[in-house]
Amino acid sequence: MTEYRKQKTEGRQSSLLIAHCSLLINNICCLLFVSVFLIVGCATSHNKNIENKSPDANEQKAEQYETENYQPLFDYTYDGEKNITRYNILGPFITFEKEAQKEEKIFRPFYSKTEDKKEDTSDVDVIYPLGKYKRNPEETSSRFAPFFTSRKEFKETEGKKNDFGFFPVFWGKTEDGEGYGGLFPIYGDMRKRFGKDEIKFVLWPIYTKTRDDKTINKNFIWPIFSITAGEKESGFRMWPLFGYRNKKDEFSKKFFLWPLIHYQNTYLDTSRPKKYRAFLPFYASETSSGRVIKSVIWPFFNYLHDDDENLTLWDFPWPIIQKGRGDNLNVFKVFPIYGYRDKEHLNERFFLWPIYTYKREYPEDSEKIVHRFLLISKYEYENPKSWQLRLWPLFNYKSKKDGETIFSFPEIIPIETEGFEKNYAPIFRLYEYNFTPPPSHPLEGGEKRVGEMESKLLWGLYSHKKNDFGEFIDLSFLISYEKRGDDGSFSILKGLLELGKKNGKSYFKILYIPLSK
């Protein structure tokens, strides 16, 4: 454990660039956070001590949930049952969310950080997707494309691998403890990188040497001159005039006037050796046992026959007209007017592509159907009970298997990745709606749960929340309405004028002064 902590610290030190960005933006966020509360003068509402409240059960339950809306400056939510505190500052641009074992900070669109203390993980995005930092008990990695990369493994018994690069400088160490490094393009020595055991270069592309097991390849003025030598393997290239590469009992490849003439024999160590001959673009042929592919004026006119699949396929010309049939494939298309493709567990159709496309996947006990309109807009159904309707650029509606419902308007950028959703999507949405169904177990006292609903308009200027604690509607700090069981209130300017009921007693406020009836 001591070794792991020591290595984790070293891993963090190797990620100085992203760490410094994280620290700087954290400080900016904190300053904005403090400034907002000083301006609004409402910092006292979020430090409530639930345990010291009145023993009355209904009152204590109500005090477990607090929400305030002062957008476009900030809004605040505290859920005592889940132990979650959330701040949204300056609309969608800054978000702080904290749970007992998890914390999230987002400064859109530049920075986000999610830290899970229970799982001992950390995930940071800086100008997503360019900058990324990830840490878990096994390894730490960071990057800022295309300039910076770093990775370090935490292993107790096996060899540890680490590498670091800040273009044009790089260095690292393999699992066997071999060190390497370099200054691109002047000189470099890399080990176990890019699928090779060893890569060396001097004044790249003037000289490059790679080693893969016992095979050594030397390049001079890459990609023009190349020499390959190894166990049962040899090769030479003077591109584009001539080149060959042979490995005994495995393959033999030659080219002349690349990419025009090719002569290849491959898979010689199998029961189905393959022959490839080509004089492009006029003619190409690929043959093996039971399979033939021929092309004329490649890639436009093609013929394929496979005995194993009882398949015959024609392109005349590709990609406009295609027709084929076999035991596991039936295809026909006149592109872009109409086409279909059927194979095991898969059906595909298009009509006036890209106006309409259809895809159905049905492996075993599941089914997924996707209708696309102009490629981006789509209706997607996935059995059981999950569907999505996206009408670009107007809206996106999702109904998930667990009953969660999500709606957003508009949906300008149709990218559905976790990183984009976290760092960018809320900025482009004027209205959002989210409903989470209730858990199966009831509340204390046997009360039925209602789930959680939250909607917001104009980046939270208007918000509507409904959950087990009650119903809450806010138009910034101008108008507020809340209903908690039998109690509730309606307020203008946060108490300039307020009517309400608490603990069975009616009250009203004038100029923030509470008066009882």
Least confident among 56-65, 325-334, 500-509: 56-65
Q: What is the band of 164 on the pLDDT scale with cuts at 50, 70, 90?
A: confident
pLDDT in the model for residue 385: 82
Tell me whether residue 81 is in a domain. yes
Q: Which residues contact 431 (CB under 8 A, 6 or more apart)?
A: 407, 408, 409, 455, 456, 457, 458
- Residue 481: both structure tokens together: 């309405």
Q: With respect to residue 514, please indicate whether it lies within any of the assigned structural domains.
A: no
Q: Are 472 and 482 in contact (CB under 8 A)?
A: yes
- pLDDT level of residue 48 (50, 70, 90 thresholds): very low
User: Is the pLDDT reported for residue 59 higher than 70?
Assistant: no
Local confidence band at 517 (pLDDT 50, 70, 90 cut-offs): low
Which strand (E) or helix (H) includes residue 4?
A: helix 2-13
Total domains in the chain come to 1
Element (H, E) at 103: strand 102-107
What pLDDT shows up at residue 13?
A: 42
What is the DSSP secondary structure assignment for residue 185, as one 8-state letter?
T
Is residue 469 within 8 Å of 65, Cβ to Cβ? yes
Task: Give the H or E element holding residue 422.
Answer: helix 418-423
Give residue 432's pLDDT. Answer: 97
Q: Which of 77, 32, 55, 34 is nearest to 467 (CA)?
A: 77
pLDDT, one tens digit per residue, over 192-248 is 888 899 999 999 999 999 999 889 999 999 999 999 999 899 999 999 999 999 999
What gap in Å lies between CA 55 and CA 47, rounded to an integer? Answer: 19
Domain range spanning residue 129?
1-167
Four-point Cα dihedral 114, 116, 122, 125, nearest 10: -10
Q: What distance in Å separates the CA atoms of residue 62 and residue 389, rounded to the nearest whole number?
A: 37
Is the distance from CB of 90 to CB of 98 less than 8 angstroms? no
Residue 180 lies in a domain: no
In a domain, residue 414? The reply is no
Give me the chain's average pLDDT, please.
86
Report the CATH number at residue 57.
2.60.450
Identify whether the C-beta of residue 485 lies closer than 8 Å to the C-beta of residue 62. yes
User: Residue 31's pLDDT is what?
Assistant: 44
Which pLDDT belongs to residue 6?
A: 45
The span from the CA of 407 to the CA of 460, in Å, is 15
Least confident of 90-94, 145-149, 432-436, 489-493: 145-149
Going by pLDDT thresholds of 50, 70 and 90, the confidence category of residue 162 is confident
Q: Residue 49 above 50 pLDDT?
A: no
* pLDDT top residue among 197 and 444: 197
